[in-house]
């Protein structure tokens, strides 16, 4: 159906529809845009993606003996197995099919993917080798070094002498009787020493390290006895895409290089692909790409607009930035509004009689600049440069700042009065004093005091935004839809730092006034 000439005739009409949609509200209405001429044919081209097999090895070690992947007997055997696996992989038909399928099963079939890597999980292998601990030779235990396996060691108190000096007479053998005479020690009976209480006169005690078991856990392997060395062999495909650049029109070469895969998955190109064996034994995927291509010329308000039609969905390549010409005067007015020297409201109103500018203003009044750029780009994906879109959002932001300057100042003043009043009420003894008494902990009231700052900042931000809504809504003109108008609420109009500063300043001023009036002030006040 895609080669049906009737279908191909639809392509210029599709492009016309796109141009009309972009131009709508931007100074060229439906009937002023027409196709002057369109021609083209279905082109064919061959292309190839070479698949190179790469591999890498990731090593790890685990305590203990484990059977992981293919168990082998030595590190050399692992090296050999990896060598064999990687050199034989490409010779195996199943492997070749698996490799090719990784690309062929993608929506783009790997077309135009140059110098990219793909995993081939089905090919990955693990090898392992179990090595006994060099210290315990795979026992996990070793003979106790302290007792040498004898289970007992020399008594630490008598050092094997079986007797210790008598503590009662300090080894003198004599003691003082009740009437002050020197008599024989009645503990050692004058022997000056007694039997060692620790070893019960045997001279040895149980080994303190092995607790009498003669062995202890190997200090090298911690009892694991073995270490398993694992090698993960990981295969990857590297792609090398080639096509004949000399026979294709330059805009097509560029689109193939930049986004060929998207052209396939987006069905702009009809692609047949098959796995082929190269003469040198390597693996490749051969493509035949088919796509309509031609030149088309529109007239917009009598002026020509030339571009190229590409693919089965009427995509335009190298479309000039015609929207910039159409909206040039409105753009200049926006620039003037951003400078802020003239009648900003009037200039914004005039500038926003072009949908492009009105959208830029609406977006920058309701979203942060980065988001606004993305949203505007989505509405105008072609016919205008990215640079201009960024510029538009920047100018819109400035223009809205100028437009709302007076309202923002009155908003800040109103907010200052309101926050100040709330703060003073809070510091009344009947409020803060009562609150402090009710609270279980003294610190909580300090937290409440400081909460007044962010609370004030948020209130200021809210009031300024609300007060600024009117002029922005009014100036944006008739291009705001009813729906947009209903939920329109400007953000980013009031700089947050201003509101934060206001909250802080009003807080400090309220504190000073409360102190002067002898109200309930925080104890931490330095004045």
Task: List interacting residues with Zn ion (CB under 5 A).
Answer: 133, 135-136, 144, 146-147, 155, 157-158, 166, 168-169, 185, 187-188, 196, 198-199, 207, 209-210, 218, 220-221
The token pair that represents 236 in the structure block: 């990857």
| Dist. CA 206–CA 202, nearest whole Å | 11
Least distance CB 230 / Zn ion (angstroms): 19
What residues pair up with 53 in beta bridges, in sequence order? 237
Nearer to Zn ion, 63 or 187 (CB): 187
**Residue 32 pairs with which residues in a beta bridge?**
none
Question: Rounded to the nearest whole angstrom, what is the least distance from the CB of residue 159 to Zn ion in the complex?
Answer: 7
The helix-helix angle for 355-366 and 344-351 (nearest 10°) equals 120
Least Å distance between CB 198 and Zn ion?
Answer: 5
Q: Which is nearer to Zn ion, 55 or 66 (CB)?
A: 66
Nearest to 330 by CA among 403, 399, 404: 399
Of residues 142 and 289, the one with the C-beta less far from Zn ion: 142
Minimum distance, C-beta of residue 71 to Zn ion, in the bound complex (Å): 20
Cα–Cα distance measured from residue 471 to residue 489, given in angstroms and rounded to the nearest whole number = 12
Least Å from the CB of residue 64 to Zn ion: 11
Q: Using CA atoms, how far apart are residues 103 and 404, in angstroms rounded to an integer?
A: 56
The least CB distance from residue 182 to Zn ion, in Å, is 13
Of residues 125 and 152, the one with the C-beta less far from Zn ion: 152
Separation of alpha carbons 72 and 389, rounded Å: 63
Least distance (Å) from Zn ion to the CB of residue 199?
3
Q: Taking the alpha carbons of 179, 183, 188, 189 in that order, is the dihedral positive or negative?
A: negative
**CB of residue 92 vs Zn ion: minimum separation in angstroms?**
41
CB 32 within 8 A of CB 305: no
Whichever of 129 and 243 has its CB closer to Zn ion, that residue is 129
Q: Which is nearer to Zn ion, 103 or 169 (CB)?
A: 169
**End-to-end C-alpha distance for the chain, whole angstroms:** 87
Query: Which 8-state DSSP code applies to residue 249?
Result: -
Which letter does DSSP use for residue 113 in this model? -
Instruction: Name the residue among 132, 127, 135 with its Cα closest to residue 227.
Output: 132
Identify which of residues 198 and 374 has a Cβ nearer to Zn ion in the complex: 198
Q: How far is the CB of 117 from Zn ion (least distance, A)?
A: 41
Rg of the chain (C-alpha set): 44
Distance of closest approach, residue 200 Cβ to Zn ion, in angstroms: 8
Nearest CB to Zn ion, comparing residues 178 and 438 = 178
Residue nearer to Zn ion on the CB measure, 75 or 203: 203
| Rounded-to-10 torsion of CA 104, 105, 111, 114 | -90
Residue 365 and residue 465 in contact, taking contact as beta carbons nearer than 8 Å: no
Residue with tokens 């009409």: 13
DSSP summary character for residue 484: H
Q: Which tokens in the block code for residue 490?
A: 């400007």
Minimum CB separation of residue 176 from Zn ion in Å reads: 12
Rounded-to-integer distance, Cα 326 and Cα 288, Å: 40
Question: Judging by DSSP bridges, how do beta strands 215-217 and 204-206 pair with one another?
Answer: unpaired
Do residues 262 and 315 make contact, with C-beta atoms less than 8 angstroms apart?
no
Beta bridge partners of 48: 242, 286
Cβ distance to Zn ion smaller for residue 215 or 466 = 215
The residues pairing with 80 across neighbouring beta strands, listed in sequence order, are: none
Whose Cβ is closer to Zn ion: residue 184's or residue 339's?
184
| C-alpha pair distances (Å), 280 with each of 13, 90, 91, 287, 349 | 48, 12, 12, 19, 69
Q: Which of 510, 521, 516 minimizes the C-alpha distance to 423? A: 510
Q: Minimum Å distance from CB 150 to Zn ion?
A: 7
By beta-carbon proximity to Zn ion, the closer residue of 34 and 220 is: 220
CA dist., res. 143 & res. 214, Å (int): 6
Minimum CB separation of residue 194 from Zn ion in Å reads: 7
């Amino acid at each position: 159906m895609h080669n049906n000439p009737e279908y191909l005739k639809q392509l210029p009409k599709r492009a016309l529809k796109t141009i009309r949609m972009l131009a709508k509200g931007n100074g060229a209405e439906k009937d002023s845009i027409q196709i002057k001429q369109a021609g083209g044919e279905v082109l064919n081209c061959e292309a190839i993606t070479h698949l190179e097999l790469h591999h890498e090895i990731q090593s790890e070690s685990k305590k203990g003996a484990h059977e992981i992947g293919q168990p082998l007997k030595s590190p050399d055997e692992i090296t050999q197995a990896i060598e064999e696996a990687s050199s034989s992989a490409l010779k195996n038909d199943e492997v070749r099919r698996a490799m090719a399928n990784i690309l062929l099963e993608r929506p783009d079939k790997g077309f135009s993917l140059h110098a990219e890597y793909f995993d081939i999980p089905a090919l990955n292998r693990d090898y392992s080798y179990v090595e006994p601990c060099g210290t315990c030779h795979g026992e996990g235990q070793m003979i106790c070094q302290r007792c040498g396996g004898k289970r007992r060691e020399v008594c630490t108190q008598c050092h094997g002498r079986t007797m210790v000096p008598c503590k009662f007479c300090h080894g003198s053998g004599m003691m003082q009787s009740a009437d002050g005479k020197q008599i024989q020690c009645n503990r050692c009976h004058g022997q000056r020493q007694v039997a060692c209480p620790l070893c019960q006169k045997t001279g040895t005690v149980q080994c303190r390290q092995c607790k009498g078991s003669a062995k202890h856990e190997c200090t090298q392997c911690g009892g694991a006895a073995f270490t398993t060395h694992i090698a993960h062999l990981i295969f990857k495909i590297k792609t090398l895409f080639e096509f004949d650049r000399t026979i294709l029109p330059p805009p097509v070469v560029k689109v193939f290089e930049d986004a060929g895969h998207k052209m396939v998955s987006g069905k702009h190109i009809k692609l047949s692909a098959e796995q082929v064996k190269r003469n040198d034994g390597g693996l490749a995927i051969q493509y035949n790409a088919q796509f309509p291509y031609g030149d088309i010329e529109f007239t917009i308000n009598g002026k020509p607009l030339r571009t190229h039609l590409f693919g089965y969905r009427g995509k335009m390549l190298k479309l000039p930035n015609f929207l910039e010409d159409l909206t040039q005067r409105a753009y200049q007015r926006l620039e003037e509004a951003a400078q802020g020297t003239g009648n900003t409201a009037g200039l914004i109103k005039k500038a926003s009689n072009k949908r492009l500018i009105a959208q830029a203003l609406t977006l920058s009044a309701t979203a942060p600049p980065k988001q606004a750029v993305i949203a505007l780009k989505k509405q105008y994906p072609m016919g205008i440069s990215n640079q201009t879109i960024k510029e538009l959002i920047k100018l819109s932001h400035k223009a809205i700042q100028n437009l709302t300057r007076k309202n923002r100042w009155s908003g800040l003043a109103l907010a200052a009065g309101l926050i100040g009043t709330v703060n003073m009420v809070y510091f009344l003894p009947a409020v803060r004093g009562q609150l402090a008494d009710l609270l279980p902990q003294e610190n909580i009231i300090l937290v409440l005091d400081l909460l007044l700052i962010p609370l004030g900042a948020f209130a200021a931000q809210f009031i300024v935004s609300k007060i600024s809504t009117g002029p922005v809504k009014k100036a944006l003109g008739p291009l705001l839809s009813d729906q947009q108008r209903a939920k329109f609420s400007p953000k980013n109009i009031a700089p947050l730092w201003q509101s934060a500063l206001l909250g802080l300043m009003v807080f400090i001023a309220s504190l000073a006034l409360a102190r002067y009036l002898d109200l309930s002030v925080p104890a931490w006040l330095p004045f």
